[in-house]
Amino acid sequence: MTVETRKLQIACPVCASSEVFYTCTPNCCFNHVCGHCGSTFEPVTRKAGGTLSGALPPQPGPEASDPTVACAKCEETTVYMTEDTTLVCTSCGSRLALEFTEIVRG
Ligand SMILES: [Zn+2]
Ligand SMILES: [Zn+2]
């Protein structure tokens, strides 16, 4: 059985806008900027407990400026959302929860 996912959507932790862009590359940092209020922040994941087997990455995959976060378990940036907005890593199957660090208000 497979589980379809969609691209990660992140709401700005300051103004809740979904106009969030990733401004860096995974081998540097996870700095994101909000296109609405200009705040910057870094999303991180923590293990939410349990795994979801058969989760497949979305097609087409994310673009370079789409929100990106690393898996708390395997550190791959293959973290997507299921129908019910649960975060899941399609590399290791971990269920994840989203948190924010380095929040700088714009
Ligand atoms: Zn914002
Ligand atoms: Zn993983």
The tally of domains found in the chain comes to 1
- For ion ligand 1, residues whose CB falls within 5 Å: 12, 14-15, 17, 34, 36-37, 39
Q: What is the pLDDT of residues 9-20, one digit of tens each?
A: 999 999 999 999
Closest to 65 measured CA to CA, from 91, 34, 87, 88 = 34
Three-class secondary structure of residue 98 per DSSP: strand
pLDDT score, position 27:
92
Pairing state between β 20-22 and 79-81: unpaired
What's the burial of 78, exposed, middle or buried (CB within 10 Å: 0-12/13-18/19+)? Answer: buried
- Residue ranges of the alpha helices (H) in 3-97? none
Q: What is the pTM of this model?
A: 0.94
Q: How far does the centroid of ligand 2 lie from the alpha carbon of residue 77, in Å?
A: 8
Q: Return the ligand number nearest the Cα of 45.
A: 2
Q: How far apart are CA 8 and CA 22, in angstroms?
A: 11
Q: Quick one: tokens of 101?
A: 């660090």
**How far apart are the C-alpha atoms of 5 and 84, rounded to whole Å?**
10
Question: The tokens of 80 are what?
Answer: 């997507």
What is the residue range of 93's domain? 3-104
Express each pLDDT in 61-75 by its tens digit.
Answer: 999 999 999 999 999
